[in-house]
Amino acid sequence: MSWIDRLPSIRQAPKGLVDVRQGMGADAEAMKYFEPTDLGEALDLLASDEDLACLAGGQTLVGVLNLGVAEVGGLVSLRRISGLNEIQVNETGVTVGAMATHAAVARDARLAGRFALLKEAAGRIAHPAIRSQGTMGGSICHADPAADYPGVLVALDAQVEVAAATGRRRIAAQDFFVDFLTNALEPGEMVTAVHFPPAPAGAREAGIYEKFTRVDGDYATVSVACTIGMDGTACSSAGIALGSCDVRPVRSTAAEAALLGGSLDDAAVAEAGRLLAEAADPQTDTRGSADYRRRLIPGLVARAIGRARAALDLQ
């Protein structure tokens, strides 16, 4: 069954931080609505009623509520809580607040090297109007395997920071995306930030995002999030994750191992692409058949690694 075929059977909104701000339809006036001014107040509200959903940029849940394929018991707006939209870049890596918009991430000149992957992916999300309102937290909580951020978080070994009235914890991105439209949040929890670790000391790294779509601004038919690190002429690190190729991002340690220690020659790159295609379990939907998607993977992986080589000035 395709992802689109499965969508009408999903009756609960994504847990934690989800996108809603306007266009709620005929039942909007009857819905409970809160605008806390600090994080603690928001967490207390979520603890008091597990049917409440957080409001971020308004770009995802609006549509599914209007279609009648998701239900919430009330809305907790996060727009008045300070600090959730900050982007911090320092020696410990990059931290992106849950309310940081795609546009803010896409225009942040500090996101270079391996973090250029994050910057490029944010700039490929939908269209300017969506990017100006949609948020990092809302997007990842939706946990759509065709979305741009999930694969990026997995390739960059990110950790998702979540908070509840009882405390905070971090979840590895690989574990945060559990299944189709399903994340790892527990009742009462919300995403507050995403943490991306720094590159190893002295490493030269490049981050590349390849996205194959039917038209500009569409969800990916296949996407490749790729980071490559070099120590001299030898590949010292590699992180590659596929989007739209399973119910969650696809990563293959065997594919990455095929690149490590070598010079990223054609044979190694081809082997990495073959192993990723083998690891993928794509679905057939309106954007392409499973076989079509699988055939796209090796070429897109090779293109991403080729661009990484160029970014690192490798001959």
Which CATH number does the domain housing residue 122 bear?
A: 3.30.465.10
Whether residue 2 lies inside any domain: the answer is no
Q: Which of 150, 166, 196 is the last residue of a domain?
A: 196
- pTM here is 0.90
Terminal alpha carbon distance of the chain: 45
- Print the domain residue range for 218: 204-311
pLDDT of residue 17: 46
Among the listed ranges 13-22, 87-96, 220-229, which one has the minimum average pLDDT value?
Answer: 13-22
How many separate domains does the chain show?
A: 3
What is the pLDDT, as a whole number, of residue 24? 46
Distance from C-alpha of 232 to C-alpha of 215, rounded to nearest angstrom? 39
Q: Which of 113, 116, 114, 91 is nearest to 105 (CA)?
A: 116
Q: Please, what is the average pLDDT of the chain?
A: 90
145-192 pLDDT tens trace: 999 999 999 999 999 999 999 999 999 999 999 999 999 999 999 999
117, 162: one domain? yes
pLDDT tens-place string over residues 1-59: 333 333 443 334 455 544 444 444 444 456 788 999 999 999 999 999 999 989 898 68
Where is the domain boundary, 45, 77, 109? 77
209 shares a domain with 192: no
In a domain, residue 188? The reply is: yes
Give domain status of residue 82, yes or no.
Answer: no
pLDDT tops 70 at residue 315: no
- Report yes or no on 263 lying in a domain: yes
Q: Which amino acid, 298?
A: P
pLDDT digits (tens, 9 = 90+) for 233-246: 999 999 999 999 99
What is the pLDDT averaged over residues 100-114? 97
Do residue 92 and residue 189 come from a single domain?
yes
- pLDDT at site 113: 96
Q: Looking at residue 151, what is its pLDDT?
A: 98
**Residue 301's domain is classified under what CATH number?**
3.30.390.50
196, 221, 255 - which closes a domain: 196
CA nearest to 119, candidates 139, 144, 96, 141: 96
109-128 per-position pLDDT tens digit: 999 999 999 999 999 999 99
